[in-house]
Amino acid sequence: MGNKRKEECRIVSQEELLDGIYSMWLQTEEIAEEALPGQFLSLYSRDGSRILPRPISICEINREKKQIRLVYRVAGKGTEEFSRYHPGISLSVVGPLGNGFPVKEAEGKTVFLMGGGIGIPPLLETAKQIRGDVKVIAGYRDKQFLTEEFARFGEVFVATEDGSVGTKGNVMDVIREKELKADMIMACGPTPMLKAIKAYAEERGIPCYLSLEERMACGIGACLACVCQSKEVDAHSHVHNKRICKDGPVFLSTEVEL
């Protein structure tokens, strides 16, 4: 777990990559040094009426410049507010939070990095840090983003629902169409996608790590809105639950039920 530090971070740059999807670089003091791929930050609104922070996954880490990149989708009032901020504005940020993807375990292996929609950004830093054969399988509704950046770190396969780019269908259709094989899988995206990946991996005995970050609300374990079912009973609450933000967001697929 990263140490929870609240830091005032200055926005270095912000651009709209696609309709409603923004890329923001933040200047940090300590967060960038500690951050791991697959972790997230909690950003506080400057509007006092919104108390809970918004968790946003880390897309890239630049340790030299002490900067962190977030790529997020405008989904509600909080993220809509962030999208209007310009460089120079400071935000209260807590992080890095959660556990990340186990990039060291992937060394020398063929790894699928499978992402869907806004689950794709956290895989960029993951791809960058893996010393192995990286195959990025990205699923989009129609328009793609970040694919050119991924191409620097591995082979990229794209699926689109309308078939306008790459394979028509979803990330699982890509694996079947291209007959791809992997030693390990790391994935982030909507629950139906993660369910299919979990079943595929477990059928074949492939270690698979799933990031369940889509379902977080507060990011600090307080609100319990992001609980998922786990195989073991939690020692603290005696129920089959894990808090995605505290115990995750990355879980071994065999530990959770979706």
Q: What percent of the chain has pLDDT above 70?
A: 91
pTM for the structure as a whole: 0.93
Q: What percent of the chain has pLDDT above 90?
A: 78
What is the model's pLDDT at position 1?
41
Cite the beta strand spans of the chain per DSSP E: 5-18, 21-27, 40-43, 54-62, 67-73, 90-97, 110-116, 133-140, 155-160, 167-168, 184-188, 208-211, 227-230, 241-243, 250-252, 256-257
Please give the distance of CA 37 from its chain centroid, rounded to a whole number.
8
Q: Is the dihedral angle over the CA atoms 39, 44, 45, 49 positive or is it negative?
A: positive
Q: What is the pLDDT of residues 81-129, one digit of tens each?
A: 999 999 999 999 999 999 999 999 999 999 999 999 999 999 999 999 9
Would the pLDDT of 18 be above 80?
yes
Neighbouring C-beta atoms of residue 211, cutoff 10 Å: 28
CA 163 – CA 149 distance, rounded (Å) = 21
Q: What is the pLDDT of residues 176-194, one digit of tens each?
A: 999 999 999 999 999 999 9
Cite the beta strand spans of 99-154 per DSSP E: 110-116, 133-140
| Contact present, 25 and 11 (Cβ < 8 Å) | yes
For domain 5-97, the CATH class is mainly beta
CA 216 – CA 225 distance, rounded (Å) = 7
Would the pLDDT of 245 be above 90?
no
> Which residues have CB under 8 Å from 214's CB, separation 6+?
118, 119, 189, 190, 191
Domain ranges (residues) in the chain? 5-97
What is the model's pLDDT at position 247?
84
CA 108 – CA 186 distance, rounded (Å) = 15
| Contact present, 123 and 186 (Cβ < 8 Å) | yes
Mean pLDDT across 231-247: 73
For 60, the 3-state DSSP assignment is strand
Rg, C-alpha atoms of the chain = 18
What is the model's pLDDT at position 234?
64
Q: What is the pLDDT of residues 133-158, one digit of tens each?
A: 999 999 999 999 999 999 999 999 99
CA 164 – CA 99 distance, rounded (Å) = 35
Phi-psi region of 43 (alpha: psi -120 to 50; beta: other; left: phi over 0): beta
Phi–psi pair at 8, nearest 5 degrees: -85, 115
